Structure 1
Amino acid sequence: MKAAMSTLKKENEGLVKKEETLAKRVEELTQKHEVEVSELKKQVEALEASRVQLTEDNKWLIEHGFQQVITYLLHSAEFNSVLCGVYGKILEHGRHQGYVAGYKACQSSDPQDKSSLYRPEALKVLKDSVPEMERLTYPYVGEISKCFGKPISVLQDLKPCGLDEAVCKQVLGSLSKKHSCSGDSEETLSCADEGSKDPSLEASGTAVEEGKKKKRAKKAKGDEAGASKSVVL
């Protein structure tokens, strides 16, 4: 009997220890789970913030970014200097051709090659400058291609050499106004209505209304005259 009681006591103690071990294990797993859940929440919040920022960046890139890039380029020295160079060569060639034609027409006794306008090489220079311009690469565009993976602020602040910022500000400002007037808002509709008003139509409408008023006034006078005659009779 004592042996059986001793065995039961040992088994009971073993069960108690197992229960304590399991309880401790459950507590550890619970704490670990809470930590993991907290970390997951932080990751979800970070992903959501990244998604919002990415959406805003893409929106800016589509609505403003590319237009800004093109506007900056078209009003920069690196673009216009080359374009003006080609135009200058065209003018030189035109002056040369005009001078030759004028010389033949006037039959001047002065040698044509002594004139400062005489440029027999102008056509070749012009032909050589055209493919040179077509194959030209712009440093600004090259810098843009390096912006991948960088914050959008890097692209926003990137400007070509010799940029005419005053003109760009005006162009981009007018584009922003056009964007603000797009859509179906009440402000847009009111802007559209005001912009679509035709002064000639308004004037004609006013004239018609005045004509109707005059007719009503004449009719009223006629009615009054008829009423007065009937009273006299």
Structure 2
Amino acid sequence: MKAPIMEVFSSIQGEGKLIGRRQIFIRFAGCNLDCIYCDTPESKNAANGIEISIEELSKTVSHLLTPDFHSISFTGGEPLLQADFIKLFLERNDFKSMLETNGSLPSQIKKIAGLIDYASVDIKLPEHFASDNKGDLWEKEVDSLNILIEKGANSYCKVVVLPTTKVDTVELIAKHIKKELNLPSKVPLVIQPASPVDYWVKHSPKLFKMSEKAGKHMDVLTIPQIHKLLKVR
């Protein structure tokens, strides 16, 4: 079995709850969404990846292990397009794992949720797309989150905000997530200001308002992309 992979590298996690942890990132090529803020637009096209076998990937990962290694991060693109590949890789390799997903493929999450230790589900806003055709993406994101929680994955939601994002929109997202979760679990919401941080020089007060409003419903963290500030991958 092979999958289209753009790159495999060791770096510091710059987003979310595992920020600062040393991870080996496996970036898959190919995505089923087209977000306007994507920071790796080249990963949207599966043709940009190189077909790599599980054996080849395992060997590459083994060469990148360091004493401070914490976990594997499956990212993209959208890694769940390669759920069968990820499942087999994790069954053959005893690594802690993190899934970074847009949450649009709950049927694929079911295949690997029991093997995932940490998960970041990216909640999309209508403004994240050039067109207004979001369909039933919201329901799929919530389904994916519930599946991960039920299987024991340490999960959180992430919402990328732009200077144009309305404060009330972020509160509405937090309110709906809290309402739709099947389990009474404290799932954090990470508000991630879109890079570059220069966007926020004149808009930082809005970030406080977003946190305050969302904090009525969820445990909120506001975290920028630290790896961008450090200028590392």
Greater relative CO (CA pairs within 8 A, separation 6+): 1
| TM-score when normalising by structure 1 | 0.16
Higher helix proportion (structure 1 or 2): 1
Higher strand proportion (structure 1 or 2): 2
Structure of larger gyration radius: 1
